[in-house]
Amino acid sequence: MRNYHNLRSHAVLFVLVLVWSILLGGGMAGVLRAAETPQSPNSETLVAIGTIDPIPERYQTGLKLYLENCSSCHVALPPEVMPTQTWETLLLEPEQHYGQRLEQIPRPFIFIVWNYLRTFSRPLGEDEQTPFRVTESRYFKALHPRVDLPPTLTAAGCISCHPGARDYNYRRLTPEWEDSP
């Protein structure tokens, strides 16, 4: 009788381990499949705030920290207009910020801001110099193909065509540019 109970205990244990393994494997497969499958954009996962690209929810904290740290002094630019290398230098060398010495963004916040900027900016070309003025950026120029840009552009220049720039809305344009070809 004792062997019967041992055999039965082992069988129950085996079934429990088998069920547990199947559930665990199925759950892991589902997670891996979800990670590989690109999420389709929808109003729940993307937040369009007037920037060039809609911002997925997972980058919202980086965006918020970027705006808190940068738009308190000047109009915040969308990351798309400058290359990744420009943003990296601006974040890592705050003592060299256009003649101003800035306070370093504290860790881990700087990593969150960097993740946002890196994700939405683009790399430099192979033989391209790192631009530190928007008028030197090929991305900025590509976004403004019909605009005769002055050599030095100020925040007032952005606002003259993008009246929502102070609110980080670069999609809204003045009437003269709204219907331009």
Q: What is the 3-state secondary structure (H, E, C) of 164-179?
A: CHHHCCCCCCCHHHHC
Q: How far apart are CA 98 and CA 89, in angstroms?
A: 12
Q: List CB contacts of 54: < 8 A, sequence separation 6 or more.
A: 41, 46, 47, 48
The one-digit pLDDT tens for each residue of the chain (181 residues) are 556 667 677 777 777 676 666 765 655 455 444 433 334 334 345 555 565 567 899 999 999 999 998 888 888 999 999 999 999 998 888 777 777 777 878 888 999 999 999 999 999 989 999 998 888 999 988 888 888 888 788 777 888 889 988 888 888 888 888 777 6
Q: What are residue 4's phi and psi, to 5 degrees?
A: -65, -45
What predicted TM-score, i.e. pTM, was given to this entire model?
0.67
Domain boundaries, the chain: 1-37, 46-178
